[in-house]
Amino acid sequence: MKHLLTLHDWSTEEILDTLNLADKLKYEQKHGIEHHLLKGKTLGMIFSKSSTRTRVSFEVGMYQLGGYALFLSANDIQLGRGESVYDTANVLSRFLDGIMIRTFKQSDVEDLARFGSIPVINGLTDLVHPCQILADFQTIREHKEGQLKGLKLAYIGDGNNMAHSLLYGGAKVGMDISVATPPEYTCDAQVVKNALEDAKATGAKLTLTCDPQEAIKGADVVYADTWVSMGQEEEKEEKIKVFSNYQINKELFSQADKHAIFLHCLPAYRGYEVTEDVIDGPQSVVFDEAENRLHAQKAVMVRLLGKQ
């Protein structure tokens, strides 16, 4: 395993081993046990999209692992001025031990991996967000007695990169994923096809519907994401109208399992995709989830940049 481009590319064993390593690193960090597993290593972090959690977690994570992270905004490097991905990948491969990129097009991430000679980590694209899912799964295991397989997760909202990544991840670990989207905003057909193929090996049940109540019924985990992703601001007013029946409020949430937990990848817009009484309520674990970005991504970096 050389890159993290999508979870579709990883095996079930690779995902679970990474989660186990994330748990170990979290325990050590909480107990002051130093783990400089990437001493002397360098990670270039390319940001075409701004972020709070992605930048801070990767930068702090590399520091805690004994390495060094370089923040590279698209405007700070020649990639933002028209230099080819081919040239950028080749040059950065001479300087760095790994690249994390947060950008718009999935093809840019794949081209960096194809043309470079160092590991590439997808920090988010418009298609998928694999690092977030690893943090989500770590959080679910913490709150659901170490389990993933056999649980039901309901995602309510846009058929976007989070919905795609949950389908990929759930299919790999045997978790049932139920996605409810408006008819105009369904998931990418190729992603769905890939995930359904992966699900055959694990027995995961993947359900796509336009009915939020059907999706959430009996769910162990309920998941929301912003209705308006970065770069889609001009669609805001239209999306608010279309998604008005897809808000996760107390009434809808009550149809999940009584012990259900609530997840949101953040940033959250209270009063839109979720109400305050849900995201700030006792069953919300969104800040545990945000913290686990640090631990899950440290595990990814150790696996890809480390000696093994």
> Annotated binding site for L-ornithine: which residue ranges?
161, 225, 229-230
Q: Catalytic: which of 220, 247, 265, 303? A: 265
Which residues does the annotation place in the binding site for carbamoyl phosphate? 51-54, 78, 102, 129-132, 265-266, 293
Which residues does the annotation place in the binding site? 51-54, 78, 102, 129-132, 161, 225, 229-230, 265-266, 293
- 132 assigned to active site: yes
Angle between helices 161-173 and 130-143 (to 10 degrees): 50
Q: Catalytic: which of 3, 129, 141, 303? A: 129
- 210 assigned to active site: no
Do the Cβ atoms of 173 and 16 come closer than 8 Å? yes
Do the Cβ atoms of 108 and 101 come closer than 8 Å? yes
Q: Catalytic: which of 3, 102, 143, 303? A: 102
Q: Where are the alpha helices (DSSP H) in the chain?
A: 12-30, 53-64, 85-95, 106-115, 130-143, 161-173, 189-202, 212-216, 236-242, 250-253, 276-279, 286-305
Q: Catalytic: which of 141, 293, 295, 303? A: 293
- 225 assigned to active site: yes
For the chain, the residue count is 308
Angle between helices 53-64 and 286-305 (to 10 degrees): 50
- 81 assigned to active site: no
**Residues 6 or more apart from 198 whose CB is under 8 A from it?**
8, 168, 171, 172, 204
| CA 216 – CA 152 distance, rounded (Å) | 9
State whether residue 214 is helix, strand or coil: helix
| CA 223 – CA 219 distance, rounded (Å) | 10
Active-site residue list: 102, 129, 132, 225, 265, 293
